[in-house]
Amino acid sequence: MQVTLDLPEDLARTLEGERQRIVKIITRGLRPETAQVSELRREVVSFLAHGPQPSEIIAFHPSERVAARASELRHKNQEGKLTPAEEAEMDDLAEIDKLISLLKAEARIHTNAGQ
Residue 45 falls inside a structural domain = yes
Which pLDDT tens digit goes with each residue over 26-56?
Answer: 776 776 665 566 889 899 999 999 999 999 9
Q: What is the mean pLDDT of each run of 10 residues along the chain (115 residues)?
A: 83 81 75 68 93 95 95 95 87 92 94 74
Residue 21 falls inside a structural domain = no
Residue 9 falls inside a structural domain = no
Residue type, 30: L
Number of domains in the chain: 1
**pLDDT at residue 31, rounded to an integer:** 63
Q: Which pTM was predicted?
A: 0.67
CA distance 32 to 83: 11
**pLDDT at residue 34, rounded to an integer:** 53
Residue 99 falls inside a structural domain = yes
Residue 52 falls inside a structural domain = yes
76 touches 66 (CB < 8 A)? no
Residue 41 falls inside a structural domain = yes
Domain housing 42: 36-113
Residue 23 falls inside a structural domain = no
**pLDDT at residue 26, rounded to an integer:** 79
